[in-house]
Amino acid sequence: MGSSLVPEALEDLSEEWLRDNVLKQEIVEEFVILDHQVVCATNSEDRDGYMSLMLQIETEVELKTNGREKKRFNLFAKLFPPNEEHRKKVRKLRAFDREVHVYNSLRQQIRSVQRASSAKLEPCWPRCVYAAVDQEKGVSALIMEDLKASGFILMDKTKGLSFQHLELCMKAFARTHALTFNLKNGLGLEQMLLRNHQLLDNPMLEFDDIFDTNFEVAIHYLRGYGRPDLAQKMQDYQQKHGTVMSYINSLLDRPHRMRTLTQGDCWINNMMFRHEVRDGKEAPVEVKLLDLQIMRYLHPCTDLVYLIFGGSNSRQRNPVDQLLRTYYDTFFDILFQTGSTFCRSDYTFEELKADFEVFRHFGLVIGTLFIIVSLTNPQDMPNLDHITEDLNVVWERWLQEQKKKPVPKNIGSRLVDLVEDANSTEEARAVEAVTATMFVTLFQSVAKGMSVTTVIECSVS
């Protein structure tokens, strides 16, 4: 392979290629490579559904200076998947094109519009050292820092995220959203959209049928788990809106002044955490947001409900209002640091909470999907490295097969938790609405001369 071509396989990441395309940009002095190793970072048997072939690179170099200093580079490569059917889906989603654009263009745009004279703020993304597209061959590749070498780890997707982990994520998402929102205000909406047109379509439309079928599987699981009441509520929801995703897409497409460039794919495996021991206990202190291949222009609450309801149970995520307060305060703190004049009075905390409730519908749909995907035994799921037909056909068939199987207890209990939480929130909102109506009636009636006691007695009766 020529040293300038976009790599497609482990063998392509040779010493020569890494020297010419990465190391020469990272090292000013002359150097010699002492050791170079490349290994697969994922096992296809884990069935984690990644859209990339992921490889770890460990290279040691010696500088040709008097001190003969040695440096070690721990890098992480994301290449096109080897399976052709998998590649077709990745191309259709333009997944790599989006992430390459984010690192090669959007990141610099974010820096350029910040008015403050201090160091430029950046989102909590891994550092990228190479991002390229080969238009002729239709392949792309990215190489970034290997976060594991810096102590970052993935959390167990079967257990979900603790409240502390969720709070860190709220801060990280607020940072991304504030910086891209500042970009929109700095360039103007039209210019921001033109410069980032690669991120404007909705790649998730490609999976609408899968989401709808998964919703039906969740209904089946709830019935099989002995909760026909919750299954009926979900079925009523389905019948009310027609196909579930047609409603969700209409929700996501709603115009809103707070829309900005969001991460888009916020499931638990797309974030890594670094921990430290504090007060005798290990606690999360830093998070990096991974995989920007589905980044798109939406209301920021879509990221929040995706993360919260797809990556935690009701015990872990509550009180949700506290998570939202963390997000809100961080969002405006970051905006202030950029020099933006957009402030809290322009978008109140009550408005954020109201918007979050609207987008909870998306959280319900995405939550059912990731509960089933995250908790199913990996060996029972499709292996994307071996598929020989359209990926959607493979997933659709697999989901239909789940309706014929006994309900796994861990999945059934998590679905009950998700739907009960959604239902209790609906009931709480209904009570709030009734209470608000009663107070309006009380105010109007008292204004007309009726006594407060009379109005209350009439309302209760």
Determine the pLDDT at residue 62: 96
Q: Cα–chain-centroid distance for residue 116?
A: 28
pLDDT at 78 over 90: yes
> Could you report the per-residue pLDDT of 158-212, keeping only the tens digit for each?
999 999 999 999 999 999 999 999 999 999 999 999 999 999 999 989 999 999 9
- Could you tell me the sign of the dihedral formed by the alpha carbons of 146, 147, 153, 154, in that order? negative
- Give the containing element (helix H, strand E) for 283: strand 281-289
pLDDT of residue 298: 98
Tell how many helices (H) and how many strands (E) occur in the chain.
Answer: 17, 10
**What DSSP element (H or E) covers 406?**
none
Q: What is the mean pLDDT of residues 237-260?
A: 94
H helix or E strand, kind and range, residue 360:
helix 349-375
**pLDDT cut 90: percent of the chain above it:** 83
CATH 3.40.1710 is held by the domain 10-79: no
Percent of the chain at pLDDT exceeding 70 = 90
Residue 119 pLDDT level (bands cut at 50, 70, 90): confident
Tell me the C-alpha distance between 148 and 389, whole Å.
Answer: 34
How confident is the model over 400-427, as pLDDT tens digits? 999 999 999 999 999 999 999 988 765 4
**pLDDT, tens only, 10-30:** 999 999 999 999 999 999 999
With a cut of 80, say whether residue 443 has pLDDT above it. Answer: no
What torsion do the CA atoms of 234, 236, 242, 247 make, to the nearest 10 degrees? -60
pLDDT at res. 65: 84
Q: Quick one: how far is CA 391 from the chain centroid?
A: 21
Could you tell me the pLDDT band of residue 313, with boundaries at 50, 70 and 90? Answer: very high
Rounded to whole angstroms, the Cα distance separating 76 from 38 reads: 9
Given a cut of 80, whether residue 245 has pLDDT beyond it is yes
Nearest residue to 261 via CA among 306, 292, 289: 292
Residue 2's pLDDT is what?
53
Cα-Cα-Cα-Cα dihedral sign, residues 212, 218, 223, 228: negative
Q: Which residue has the higher pLDDT, 68 or 199?
A: 199
Considering the chain, what is the average pLDDT of its residues? 91
Specify whether the CB–CB gap between 233 and 422 falls below 8 A.
no
What would you report as the CA-atom Rg of the chain, rounded to the nearest whole angstrom?
Answer: 25
Strand (E) positions, 19-147? 31-40, 53-63, 70-79, 128-134, 139-145
The pTM of this model reads: 0.90
What is the residue-wise DSSP string for 227-280?
-HHHHHHHHHHHHHHSSHHHHHHHHHT---TT-EEE-----GGGEEEEEEEETT
What pLDDT, on a 0 to 100 scale, did the predictor assign at position 37?
98
Give 48's contacts (C-beta < 8 A, 6+ positions apart).
Answer: 42, 269, 378
pLDDT digits (tens, 9 = 90+) for 262-276: 999 999 999 999 999
Q: Are 237 and 424 in contact (CB under 8 A)?
A: no
The answer to whether the Cα torsion of 411, 413, 416, 421 is positive or negative is negative
43-53 tens-digit pLDDT:
766 656 578 99
Q: Could you tell me the residue ranges of all domains in the chain? A: 10-79, 154-434
- For the cut 80, the answer to whether the pLDDT of residue 436 exceeds it is no
- Of 416, 421, 422, 306, nearest to 366 by C-alpha is 306
